Amino acid sequence: MTHYVDGFVVPVPIDRLDDYRRIAERAGEVWLEHGALQYWECVADDVKPGKVTSFPQSVQLKDDEIVVFSWILYNSREHRDSVNAKVMEDPRLKDMMDQKNLPFDGMRMFWGGFKTLLELPNAGGPR
């Protein structure tokens, strides 16, 4: 079975990372409750600026910020659309949708939905 993934790249001020984590935990609980299969939030560790493009350049990263890469896993695009419709109506997230309440610059965040090209499930660990 192949899956569908929503991916996000977000510039987060380092001094607001705990605030971001709090809203991400709340958002993740809501997405999972409404049917998402997995929810991940990852903080940049090895994402140096490139010569042409990179994660930092993609969000116009400032010196006091860090890149967060996130993704949500679904069974299919139809499943994603159904889950997201429920999530967008969930009152627990209404305040998070307001730009003034975000602990990051939402105008520099980017996202998209992706169909699986190749999926190699781990069948018991390293080989």
pLDDT tens for 65-123 read: 999 999 999 999 999 999 999 999 999 888 777 777 788 988 889 999 999 999 887 77
Q: Which two tokens stand for residue 67?
A: 């890149």
Mean pLDDT of 33-58: 93
3-state DSSP percent of the chain in helix, strand and coil, to 5: 40, 25, 35
Rounded Cα distance, 32 and 27, in Å: 9
Contact 88, 80 (CB under 8 A): no
The verdict on domain 4-115 having CATH code 3.40.50.300 is no
Q: What are residue 39's DSSP bridge partners?
A: 72
Provide the pLDDT for residue 127: 55
- Angle at the Cα of 49 from the Cα atoms of 60 and 25, rounded to 5 degrees: 60
114, β-bridge pairs: 5
Tell me the domain boundaries of the chain.
4-115
Mean pLDDT score, 40-45: 96
pLDDT of residue 126: 63
**Could you tell me the pLDDT band of residue 25, with boundaries at 50, 70 and 90?**
very high
Strand order across the 110-115 sheet: 38-43, 65-74, 4-13, 110-115
For residue 38, the surrounding DSSP H or E stretch is: strand 38-43
